[in-house]
Structure 1
């Protein structure tokens, strides 16, 4: 039987942006903006979401990833009691909650860094960070240097080879599980984290909560190095993310199909048996509607997101087709303030919202889409069909990126004569081991066969 996370449909919230929190955390007072998020839980449930990834939440100085205090919810969002209530309401709605774990670096206001500033060579925390050197300096004129994440000196790289640092962070994780009853952690910059630390984390979290989920942000490389039985359960599938938009912009389904064949084909896929985290946009990349040359392609894009191997995730606001782009180093365009009632009232893409809702319902409890083997059935530049197969059951998916309707003759992956369109209920008859499907321009169709 699948674990909850392999069957999940995620909804991703960047809370500092969604609630319109100030860019700098300076006034010192608690502002209970998190209460705004409580009605979103019902919206997420109606959308078919079964899990929320929300973060960053740790008390921080600015964008949320420059941690000041790991045990306090950012005061711009509320207090610990607010987040406890958020998790409780989500659990009552049958929705799991996963938070950001920012363990590669801290901000400059974290106690260990402050101790080095104050006590210099005499600080007991000198070994908490990488590359601390009192013969160097920084753009902040600290009178000492240190290793910063991607030379962003507001982010000081922790020394995860130091067991004292590891123990501190593992205690933080225990605190979040025990205090808030969270169900998982998304590890920021997992491709920078020490492997032994992640192995210890897997052991500690499994002891605290048997079905606790660990997912890592990994952009490049062999995902199996991180997603395995010793370390993380899953990582971000950036390779598929790229293919989902460029495969449509270039009218080139070969790109998407090649990625999936390489990753998940039932005969030799390098990540076969693993479940990666799939997305079309997030808080670090442009919105899918801003990336697509033809906005109508958003429909087959989401069909693929929900039916290809992986755990699908929707980024807050994209269910309404909003746009947003990175401006240089500024991420604000991808992290907007949104009000739920206003978005629902002024929805400019109700057909997209309905499509995503229908896909969410399809995924719910669907063992074939969660665990079924992947098999490619038909491929051209502009049409693509595949099946997810579990025993004698199959879900057959066909997509069309052409601006004209298309007819497809697809070989049946299982021995069945009758198929059912999952959205219309229409019965389709297979003849001679093949299924004939008519697709709208920029359309998709999903049928079941058993």
Structure 2
């Protein structure tokens, strides 16, 4: 039986962007951002999403990752009570809430860092940050140097090997669970975090809430170093993300299939026991609708996102195929303000939007896509079919990246009398152990074997 975070679809919200918050925080600004975000909850539920990942949202000075106060939500979004109300409304709709844990670094306005600036060698917080050197300096001319995330000195790096720092953060996490009733944490820069800190966080959060979920931002490396029984439950699957867009741009399904087989194949996939967090865009990378050379490829891309092993996530606006790119190093184009009512009117019953809803429904009603083993069935540069097989169910997924209609002859992986195509509602009967199907250009099919 899969756990909630394995058999769900996430909706990824970047709240400061969604509400059009000011770029620089000001305590004088009264915001009702959370009440605006609450209006998204019925839409998220209609998409078939059972969880939101929302963040960053705690007190910061600019983009949200320069934390000033871990205990309170950002003024630009509203009040702590407003956030509690948002979570309560999500829970009433059966939606879990996961927040950003920015624990690798703080902003320069964080009280401990300000104390070091003021009291220097006499500061009780001098060991709260990495490599503090009072004989050094930075371009801020503080009269000392310090470790920072990727040498970006606006984000001084916390010393997570300092027990006092760790205990402080553990108390913060307990407070988030007890005061806000969150259901999980996404670790920002998880590949920079101290392993013992992650292990202890896993232990503490499991005590606070048995089904609490920990997911981490990891780009490169062996994902099982961070996602395992002692540490996090999942990490961001950047390896598959790259394959999903380049495999379509290059008309090369071998790239995607190689990645999935390496990760999830039932006969030796190195992450087959881990539900990785899958996505096709997020708040840090160009949107998939901007990356794809052939815009129609967005349909098979999303079919694969939902039906391949792992936990699928939609980045807000993706359901409407909005575009966005980094420009001159700025992420603003990836994090736009969106008015839900305007988007609803503009897109109405858009075919792609309706397909996203159907994919969410299919995923929810067929646990085989969370629990089933992966098995490759057939593969060419432009056509790809695979099965998901569990003890009591089986499904076949086929996609076509060709610009032309294509015929596929797909071997049936288990005995069955017919196959129900879940997107169209049509049925196909196997012939001599094969499904003979016609796929339209840039399309896909999902079969439940009966």
Superposition deviation, residue 26 in structure 1: 2.8
Other-structure match for 2:69? 69
**Structure 2, unaligned runs of 5 or more:** none
Other-structure match for 1:186? 186
3-state SS of the aligned residue for 1:156?
Answer: coil
What are the Cα deviations for residues 102-136 of structure 1, in whole angstroms up to 9, with x where unaligned?
00000000010011011000000000000100001
Superposition deviation, residue 27 in structure 1: 4.5
Other-structure match for 1:249? 249
Superposition deviation, residue 349 in structure 1: 8.6
Superposition deviation, residue 401 in structure 1: 0.2
Superposition deviation, residue 367 in structure 1: 1.5
**C-alpha distance in 1, partners of 2:343/2:102?**
30
**C-alpha distance in 2, partners of 1:8/1:17?**
24
Other-structure match for 1:260? 260
Other-structure match for 1:401? 401
Note closer, same or farther for the CA distance 1:253–1:349 as it changes in structure 2 (3 Å cut).
farther
What are the Cα deviations for residues 138-181 of structure 1, in whole angstroms up to 9, with x where unaligned?
11110000011011111000000001100000100000000000
Other-structure match for 1:201? 201
**C-alpha distance in 1, partners of 2:366/2:94?**
16
Superposition deviation, residue 427 in structure 1: 1.5
Alignment of 1:42-57 (within 5 A): 42-57=42-57
3-state SS of the aligned residue for 2:112?
Answer: helix
Alignment of 1:94-243 (within 5 A): 94-243=94-243
CA contact (8 A) 2:26 2:75 kept: no
* 1:285 matches 2:285: yes
Other-structure match for 1:326? 326
Superposition deviation, residue 32 in structure 1: 1.7
CA contact (8 A) 1:190 1:217 kept: yes
Superposition deviation, residue 268 in structure 1: 0.5
Q: CA RMSD in A?
A: 0.9
CA contact (8 A) 1:177 1:208 kept: yes
3-state SS of the aligned residue for 1:59?
Answer: strand
Q: TM-score scaled to structure 1, two decimals?
A: 0.99
Once the two structures are overlaid, the 10-residue window that deviates more, 333-342 or 422-431, is 422-431
Could you list the structure 1 runs, at least 4 aligned residues long, displaced by more than 3 angstroms after superposition.
27-30
Superposition deviation, residue 417 in structure 1: 2.5
**C-alpha distance in 2, partners of 1:70/1:257?**
41
CA contact (8 A) 1:283 1:331 kept: yes
Once the two structures are overlaid, the 10-residue window that deviates more, 179-188 or 358-367, is 358-367
**C-alpha distance in 1, partners of 2:319/2:248?**
19
**Structure 1, unaligned runs of 5 or more:** none
Superposition deviation, residue 30 in structure 1: 3.5
Superposition deviation, residue 8 in structure 1: 1.2
Once the two structures are overlaid, the 10-residue window that deviates more, 69-78 or 384-393, is 384-393
**C-alpha distance in 1, partners of 2:73/2:30?**
10
Other-structure match for 1:276? 276
CA contact (8 A) 1:320 1:349 kept: no
What are the Cα deviations for residues 236-269 of structure 1, in whole angstroms up to 9, with x where unaligned?
0000000000000000000000000000000000
Once the two structures are overlaid, the 10-residue window that deviates more, 347-356 or 269-278, is 347-356
Other-structure match for 1:419? 419
**C-alpha distance in 2, partners of 1:276/1:138?**
38
What are the Cα deviations for residues 246-302 of structure 1, in whole angstroms up to 9, with x where unaligned?
000000000000000000000000001110000000000001000000100000000
Superposition deviation, residue 392 in structure 1: 4.6
**C-alpha distance in 2, partners of 1:332/1:302?**
24
What are the Cα deviations for residues 385-434 of structure 1, in whole angstroms up to 9, with x where unaligned?
00000125211000000000000000001111211111222120101111
3-state SS of the aligned residue for 2:36?
Answer: helix
CA contact (8 A) 1:35 1:82 kept: yes
Aligned residues: 450
Q: TM-score scaled to structure 2, two decimals?
A: 0.99
CA contact (8 A) 1:102 1:188 kept: yes
Other-structure match for 1:410? 410
Alignment of 1:241-390 (within 5 A): 241-347=241-347, 350-390=350-390
